[in-house]
Amino acid sequence: MRLFILSVIFSLSSLTAFPQSWTLKDVDIYRSFDDFEHILDTQNDTTYLVNFWATWCAPCVKELPHFEEIQKLSKGKKLKVVLVSLDFERQFESRLIPFLNKNKIASDVVVLLDKKESTWIDKVDPEWSGAIPITLVYKGEKRNFYEKSFHSTDELKSILKPYLNI
């Protein structure tokens, strides 16, 4: 019985959209691109909006609120926002986690830590020069790539339009 209650509590807590307060345990850290790659290629009927960013990247930080707005609008829809951080390992505790808490980030956050960037830039998208921020939208085999900053939530809505109503 106790186990049952515990598991109910556990499943309820995992249903919450984001941790009340971020800790390092809430962030999936991928040390190899091979392990990470499924984030860019999950085959189901959900649309994924994936943004590569870092706390040290000013234009990235500036556009994050628009992604968070989309995250709020995604409730009840087959849409998932994933923020892929390229932050440095030595700054996880000192910079990344405090940033997520301060800005009450509710989207999924993962960290890509594969240091051999030249080997995986083309796998993210052959068009990508390597500069961040970048944004990908995909559902199944349909996919779009943007090496640019987004200046409004409406601008993000417009790239999602071919995928779903939002």
The residue within the footprint of another protein, chosen from 14, 16, 20, 129 (CB under 8 A), is 129
Nearer to another protein, 82 or 133 (CB): 133
For the CB of residue 160, give the shortest distance to another protein in the complex, in Å: 21
Residue of 6, 8, 17, 131 interacting with another protein (CB under 8 A): 131
Total number of residues that touch another protein (CB under 8 A): 22
151 binds another protein, rule: CB under 8 A: yes
What b/e string do you get for 93-107 counting C-beta neighbours within 10 Å, with b at 16 or more?
eeebbebbeeeebbb
Residue 42: C-alpha distances to residues 18, 46, 85, 126, 137 (Å): 20, 9, 18, 19, 12
CA distance 90 to 109: 17
CA distances from 17 to 22, 43, 96, 141, 158 (A): 12, 22, 19, 27, 24
Site string for another protein, 84-123 (x = CB under 8 A): --x-x--------------------------xxxxx-xx-
Smallest separation (angstroms) from another protein to the CB of 128: 7
Q: Which residues bind another protein (CB under 8 A)?
A: 56-59, 86, 88, 115-119, 121-122, 128-133, 147, 149, 151
